[in-house]
Amino acid sequence: MSGSDARLAAIAAITNQSKVSKPLNFSEISADEIFGQNVFSDKVMREKLPKNIYKSVSKTIAEKSSLDPEIADVVASAMRDWAIEKGATHYTHVFYPLTGLTAEKHDSFLEPDRKGGAMAEFSGKALIQGEPDASSFPNGGLRETFEARGYTLWDVTSSAYIMENPNGTTLCIPTMFISWKGEALDKKTPVLRSMQALNIQAQRILKLFGDDSNSFVSSSAGPEQEYFLIDKNFYYERPDLINADRTLFGAQPPKGQEFDDHYFGAIPERVLAYMMDVERELYKLGIPVKTRHNEVAPGQFEIAPMYESGNIATDHQQLTMVMLKSVAKRHGMECILHEKPFARINGSGKHLNWSFGNATSGNLLDPGKTPHENVQFLVFCSAVIRAVHLHGALLRATAATASNDHRLGANEAPPAIISVYLGDQLNDVFEQLKTGGAKSSKQAQNIKLGVDTLPSIPKDAGDRNRTSPFAFTGNRFEFRAVGSTQSIAGPLVTLNTIVAESLDYIATKLEKLIGKKPENLNSAVTTVLQELANEHAPVVFNGNNYSDEWHAEAEKRGLANLKTTVDALPEFTTKEAVAMFKKYNVLSKVELESRKSAYFENYALTLKVEANLTSKIGHTKIFPAAVRYQNELAQTCANLKAVGYEFDTETLDRVTALVKALQTSLKDLDKVIAGKHGSTPQAEATFLRDNIIPAMADVRVVADELETLVADDLWPLPTYQEMLFIK
């Protein structure tokens, strides 16, 4: 079957198949009954563990204190029995290497009893520590190939869970992943370290305001996940989607997203069935998914959870991505998480909603109804503003990937300039702080609808700004630059650490001003808030971040504009960044250098795969299709001329010119692919950005124009019109 025949067969298969898989029956079991049923949760531990062991584990989780190793065997035994009751035969230490993906190695519970049989075993040692091959994952030079030893260490604060499979289940244990020397090779370890750093510095501020509870101050996160769905029949006819998760070719469809008719529209029946299936699986894992809806682009959707502790939210976000992709296959679809799978169509982000607080003081970024009077809130909010102003370039680097470069700065995403949006109410309060104190807050009003049967509704004191990369949204900040394929761990680590540094700075100033006289608190806070409001005002911007005027204004304000990943990644190892991460025991210099190197390497590998795909598809699919059409046109022209008819050769001439241009651009791309790319990861990444990307773009321009001319029955690749609109 030719490429074009396969494409047409794919359309037929989609239109003839059942649109909805077997419906879910929530009448048999309600959503709240299945929530957390596959989690070794606090409730399960209370039932399965001896009372003294349960109290010890609960204390460790609540206070983030050291685990008593003597209780590990008891916990392991209870966890094993629970997992076997759930049908598990194997266990795995789940960890998150620098690939940003989820990694695991499965081991059986069964061990021979030397009597011809076997018995289920799972020791405390096996629970606490595992040993995967550390040399097989990105490490940025921390490990040589022959240095293979690495360790996974049980994260007691993140619950173990059961992953179901049609043939059984597996006990999954969230773990950290470190080298033999103890360096972090993963995403989780620095998250836990940064949360500890944030807690230590936040406690200093809270004590000044009278909170001596020592209740752990935890960052919280609620990441919104955007994604695309396309039918598997189209997916498997697109080698670029299979290997790069994005289309490297594709002409603009006759209809795109210009009508905004997809956004928040009625969810297609087949997609809704998929969403419900995903939600059921996530409920089982105790993941509190809350929201589902159509996104702006055709074929694009979103899922969002409730807020959780940062570490738990990070783990749950990884599970959500895994589940989105695996459940899609059950419904005959593929879930695409790439930031920009379709050119000129809105891409996908992962908005990281972030805050912090503890059990006694609540959410420390909740302003209340009169924020000008909530001095404690103003201190913590000022710390965040200061952190983003001083470390905005570093925050930008946490969202830097080859795939996210396609999205940042486009209409659906904020620019690469990191600024803070406060909204009308808070902006007014901080303007007042500049002069020595805030006396009032703009109050929310009601909106009268002009319909007698409807009451007036409360209007927020400030609007939202979808163009801002870092916006205050009521009681939290929303970091909108994070890419849809990314783990939220990197941005979370940086946010926790830079805010810890700011809280340290503020606490030190306040402690010095207050001295041994608690009555000096108000005057000290007023002095510090005035200083912060004036010094860090340049990072606050409430306007249109997409405008050209803002780019010029941002430069005047001294805000960095790091447009590409290659520009941004060096921020990880600046003198200031290294000193800060080291001071708060989050990442050492070698760990930061290894991350930068690993991310540059990943960037380069991504571009090389895309370049190879562009060449392969161009040579073996697009060029043959174009030549066949060129031959058809030429033959038709010759036949008509032979019988005395004049034939307009404009189309033939245009196709001939494009075929020649395609040959030339592919030849140029192949030369770049075969050339020398640099002796270091950073040098290679720079070369590829400056040479491979333009060369691929040249091929695409020609190929996409050919798509608009070549006969539809000859074109070998599913088109944007088909992939985005046929479900």
41-90: pLDDT as tens digits:
999 999 999 999 999 999 888 888 877 878 889 999 999 999 999 999 99
Distance (Å) of CA 386 to CA 23, 378, 523, 533: 51, 12, 20, 9
- Least trusted range by pLDDT, from 86-100, 256-270, 301-315, 481-495: 256-270
H-state helical runs in 259-374 = 269-284, 310-330
Task: Identify which has the larger pLDDT, 689 or 516.
Answer: 689
Q: What is the Cα–Cα distance from 416 to 581, expressed in whole angstroms? A: 23
Whole-number percent of the chain with pLDDT over 90: 67
Q: What are residue 153's DSSP bridge partners?
A: 129, 176
Q: What is the Cα–Cα distance from 252 to 704, expressed in whole angstroms? A: 8
- pLDDT (mean) for 137-156: 72
Confidence of residue 724 (pLDDT cuts 50, 70, 90): very high
Query: Which DSSP category does 688 fall into?
Result: I
646-673: pLDDT as tens digits:
777 889 999 999 999 999 999 999 999 9
- Least trusted range by pLDDT, from 317-331, 378-392, 627-641: 627-641
Q: Tell me, what's the pLDDT at 134?
A: 61
Q: What is the Cα–Cα distance from 190 to 151, expressed in whole angstroms? A: 15
Instruction: Count the alpha carbons within 13 Å of 96 in the hemisphere toward its beta carbon.
Output: 22
Separation of CA 470 from chain center: 15
Q: What is the Cα–Cα distance from 205 to 188, expressed in whole angstroms? A: 26
Q: What is the Cα–Cα distance from 330 to 72, expressed in whole angstroms? A: 38
Query: Which DSSP category does 570 fall into?
Result: G
pLDDT at 726 over 90: no
153-163: pLDDT as tens digits:
999 999 999 99
- Least trusted range by pLDDT, from 135-139, 471-475, 634-638, 717-721: 135-139
pLDDT at 439 over 70: yes
Q: What is the Cα–Cα distance from 186 to 496, expressed in whole angstroms? A: 17
pTM over 0.95: no
603-725 is a CATH 3.40.80.10 domain = no
Highest mean pLDDT pick, 447-456, 483-492, 513-522, 541-550: 483-492
Q: Three-state SS for 727?
A: coil
87-97: pLDDT as tens digits:
999 999 999 98
Query: Which DSSP category does 252 fall into?
Result: P
The domain ranges of the chain are 35-186, 194-602, 603-725
Q: Three-state SS for 682?
A: helix
Tokens of 159: 């619950």
170 touches 162 (CB < 8 A): yes
Task: Identify which has the larger pLDDT, 68 or 118.
Answer: 68
- pLDDT (mean) for 600-607: 95
Strands 88-94 and 168-179: parallel
499 touches 492 (CB < 8 A): no
| 194-602 topology per CATH | Creatine Kinase; Chain A, domain 2 (3.30.590)
| 35-186 topology per CATH | Ubiquitin-like (UB roll) (3.10.20)
Q: What is the Cα–Cα distance from 333 to 269, expressed in whole angstroms? A: 13
685 touches 565 (CB < 8 A): yes
163-209: pLDDT as tens digits:
998 888 999 999 998 888 888 889 999 999 999 999 999 999 999 99
Q: What is the Cα–Cα distance from 584 to 601, expressed in whole angstroms? A: 27
Q: What is the Cα–Cα distance from 494 to 191, expressed in whole angstroms? A: 9
pLDDT at 104 over 60: yes
